[in-house]
């Protein structure tokens, strides 16, 4: 059977907009946010690494990049990795930096800022694979592999002085989120499969930082924040599920730095740069697991409640920012809609919705185990 490739790299091009702005353009097909990972390794010999998963190219021959070279970088190298991934490395000029990138289906644009009129000698002709090895970063091992019960942290939104949204007939979001969280905890504990932790047990306010800290301190394998939606009008109704938006990933990295979080990763040697790359890798992994769980959750919720159109949404909610804890935020329905509010008030409906959440969690960990 011939392997199905997701992407192809056909050629590499460059353009310069000014003496200080340049672009390297990777041309091909099948590029997506999900199969392209771009990161920078700063330092005395700055590099930009472009990993393209599930891709093929005729530019790499016998393990070495044979495509065109350009003046705006010291050199371009490349190698095949993991059987069907491609890694391209741009060796940047000493004083240039990655200033951004743009991915479309047919093009990956790498934007560089620096002094491009300076002529420098090209990078020595080292074996592509040999030198690429130097920047092979270990894949972070996020969770110990020893058998233990998965830890689920359930976060009841709002609480205390923060009532959250108010229902058409006065139901407070903070009340219904706590009731739902307690119901979910009961159901999960009944399975005997999980350790369950609530971020709050009563009508108290817990800071957003602390909600994340609780998740990480307990080694959460999954974090579910429970909310109820509201809009100005009363017609919108149905459940939706949020995962972290791509554009919020930088905030996530900043939190790691500002809170001095130690990433649970195996490292023989860790420099700050490698640390950042590991955060990237951890984040990528967490991001895809969150998405996987969101999909399972939506499939289950469809059987127990109305769904808002475009059910899977992305946002930069603070509680979703831990880079190493898969997390979703569930909006159970619109408290501002009289019918949704009426349903959310009844324990029968909350039980039904939380049964869907429990089923999705079971399914998610069944898949993780297999």
Residue ranges that bind Zn ion, judged by CB under 5 A: 157, 164, 227
CB closer to Zn ion, 156 vs 196: 156
Residue 291 β-bridge partners: none
Of the two residues 207 and 269, which places its CB atom closer to Zn ion in the complex? 207
Least distance in Å: CB of 232 to Zn ion?
15
Whichever of 164 and 167 has its CB closer to Zn ion, that residue is: 164
**Region class of 145: left (phi > 0), else alpha (psi between -120 and 50), else beta:** alpha
What's the rounded Cα separation, in Å, for the pair 71 and 69?
Answer: 7
Which of 157/219 has CB closer to Zn ion? 157
Pairwise CA distance, residues 314 & 320, whole Å = 10
List residues bridging with 241 in a β-sheet: 312, 330
Shortest distance, CB of residue 184 to Zn ion, whole angstroms?
A: 16
Give the torsion through C-alpha atoms of 140, 144, 150, 152, to 10 deg: -50
Least Å distance, CB 155 to Zn ion, is 10
Q: Give me the least distance between CB of 177 and Zn ion, in Å please.
A: 7
To Zn ion, the closest distance from the beta carbon of 245 in angstroms equals 17
Separation between Cα atoms, residue 96 and residue 24, nearest integer Å: 13
For the bound state, the minimum distance from the C-beta of residue 264 to Zn ion, rounded and expressed in Å, comes to 29
Identity of the residue, 55 or 330, whose beta carbon is nearer to Zn ion in the bound complex:
330
| Closer residue to Zn ion in complex, CB, 46/157 | 157
Provide the minimum distance between the beta carbon of 339 and Zn ion in the complex, in angstroms, as a whole number: 19
Residue 270 contacts residue 145 (beta carbons within 8 Å) = no
Nearest approach, Cβ of residue 247 and Zn ion (Å): 21
Closer of 78 and 238 to Zn ion (Cβ):
238
The CB-nearest residue to Zn ion is 227
Nearest to Zn ion of 153, 256 (CB atom): 153
What is the smallest separation between the CB atom of 336 and Zn ion, expressed in angstroms? 12
Q: Which is nearer to Zn ion, 41 or 226 (CB)?
A: 226
* Cross-strand pairs, 153: 197, 223
């Amino acid at each position: 059977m011939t392997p199905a490739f997701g992407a192809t790299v056909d050629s590499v091009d460059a353009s310069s907009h000014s003496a200080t702005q340049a672009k390297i353009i990777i041309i091909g097909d099948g590029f997506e946010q999900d199969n392209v990972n771009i990161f920078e390794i700063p330092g005395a010999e700055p590099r930009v690494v472009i990993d393209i998963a599930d891709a093929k190219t005729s530019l790499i021959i016998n393990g070495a990049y044979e495509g065109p070279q350009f003046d705006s970088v010291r050199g371009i190298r490349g190698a095949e990795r993991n059987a069907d991934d491609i890694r391209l490395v741009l060796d940047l000029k000493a004083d240039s930096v990655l200033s951004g990138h743009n991915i479309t289906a047919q093009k990956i644009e790498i934007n560089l800022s620096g002094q491009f009129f300076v002529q420098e000698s090209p990078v020595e002709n080292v074996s592509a694979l040999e030198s690429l090895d130097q920047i092979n970063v270990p894949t972070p091992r996020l969770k110990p592999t020893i058998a233990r019960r998965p830890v689920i942290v359930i976060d009841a939104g709002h609480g205390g002085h923060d009532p959250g949204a108010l229902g058409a007939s006065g139901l407070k979001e903070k009340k219904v989120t706590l009731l739902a969280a307690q119901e979910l905890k009961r159901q999960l504990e009944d399975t005997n499969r999980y350790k369950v932790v609530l971020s709050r047990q009563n009508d108290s306010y817990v800071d957003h930082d602390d909600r994340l800290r609780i998740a990480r301190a307990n080694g959460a394998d999954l974090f579910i924040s429970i909310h109820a939606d509201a809009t100005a009008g009363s017609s919108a109704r149905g459940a939706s599920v949020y995962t972290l938006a791509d554009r919020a990933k930088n905030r996530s990295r900043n939190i790691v730095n500002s809170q001095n979080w130690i990433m649970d990763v195996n490292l023989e040697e860790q420099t700050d740069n490698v640390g950042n790359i590991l955060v990237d890798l951890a984040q990528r992994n967490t991001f895809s697991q969150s998405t996987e769980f969101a999909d399972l959750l939506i499939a289950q919720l469809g059987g127990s409640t109305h769904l808002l159109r475009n059910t899977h949404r992305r946002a930069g909610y603070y509680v979703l920012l831990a880079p190493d804890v898969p997390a979703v935020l569930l909006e159970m329905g619109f408290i501002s809609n009289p019918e949704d509010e009426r349903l959310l008030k009844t324990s029968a409906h909350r039980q039904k919705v939380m049964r869907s959440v429990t089923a999705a969690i079971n399914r998610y960990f069944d898949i993780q185990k297999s």
